[in-house]
Structure 1
Amino acid sequence: MTSQRHGMSEREYAQHAGISRGAVQKARASGRLVLHADGSIDAAASDARRAHATDPGKQPAGRAAVKPVPAAAVGAVAETLREQGLPAPQAAGGMTYLQARTANEVLKAQERKMRLQTLKGELVDRARAAALVFRLARQERDAWAGWPARVAAMMAADLGIGAHAMQSALEKYARQHLAELADVRPEFR
Structure 2
Amino acid sequence: MSERQYAAHAGISRGAVQKARAAGRLVLHPDGSIDAAASDVRRAEATDPARSRRGPAERVRPVPEAAVAAVGETLREQGLAAPPANSGMTFLQARTANEVLKAQERRIRLQKLKGELVERARAEALVFRLAREEREAWVTWPARVAALMAAELSAACSEEVNVEVAAMQKILEDHVRSHLEELAAPRAPDLT
2:43 aligned residue (32, 45, 50): 50
2:24 aligned residue (3, 24, 31): 31
Q: Does 1:83 align with 2:76?
A: no
Aligned counterpart, 1:4: none
Q: TM-score, normalised by structure 2?
A: 0.73
Partner letter of residue 75 of structure 2? T
Given that 2:49 and 2:91 are in contact with CA atoms closer than 8 Å, whether structure 1 keeps it comes out as yes
Go from structure 1 to structure 2 and tell me whether the alpha carbon gap of 1:89 and 1:162 turns closer, same or farther (over 3 Å shift). Answer: closer
Which range is displaced more, 117-126 or 145-154?
117-126
Which range is displaced more, 145-154 or 20-29?
20-29
Given that 1:8 and 1:42 are in contact with CA atoms closer than 8 Å, whether structure 2 keeps it comes out as no
2:108 aligned residue (114, 129, 137): 114
Aligned counterpart, 2:167: 165
Structure 1 distance, partners of 2:69, 2:31, is 45
Q: Sequence identity of aligned pairs in percent?
A: 63
1:137 aligned residue (131, 135, 144): 131
Structure 2 distance, partners of 1:111, 1:47, is 37
Q: Does 1:181 align with 2:183?
A: yes
Count of matched residue pairs? 178
Given that 1:74 and 1:95 are in contact with CA atoms closer than 8 Å, whether structure 2 keeps it comes out as no
Deviation at 1:75, TM superposition (A): 7.8
Partner letter of residue 83 of structure 1? G
- Give structure 1 stretches of 5+ with no counterpart: 1-6
Report the aligned-residue RMSD: 3.3
Q: Does 1:128 align with 2:130?
A: no
Structure 1 distance, partners of 2:106, 2:138, is 43
Deviation at 1:113, TM superposition (A): 1.5
Given that 2:142 and 2:169 are in contact with CA atoms closer than 8 Å, whether structure 1 keeps it comes out as yes
Structure 2 distance, partners of 1:72, 1:58, is 21
Partner letter of residue 47 of structure 2? T
Given that 1:118 and 1:124 are in contact with CA atoms closer than 8 Å, whether structure 2 keeps it comes out as yes
Go from structure 1 to structure 2 and tell me whether the alpha carbon gap of 1:74 and 1:182 turns closer, same or farther (over 3 Å shift). Answer: closer
- Give structure 2 stretches of 5+ with no counterpart: 155-162
Go from structure 1 to structure 2 and tell me whether the alpha carbon gap of 1:83 and 1:69 turns closer, same or farther (over 3 Å shift). Answer: same
- SS of equivalent to 1:46: helix
Structure 2 distance, partners of 1:74, 1:168, is 59
Given that 2:150 and 2:165 are in contact with CA atoms closer than 8 Å, whether structure 1 keeps it comes out as yes
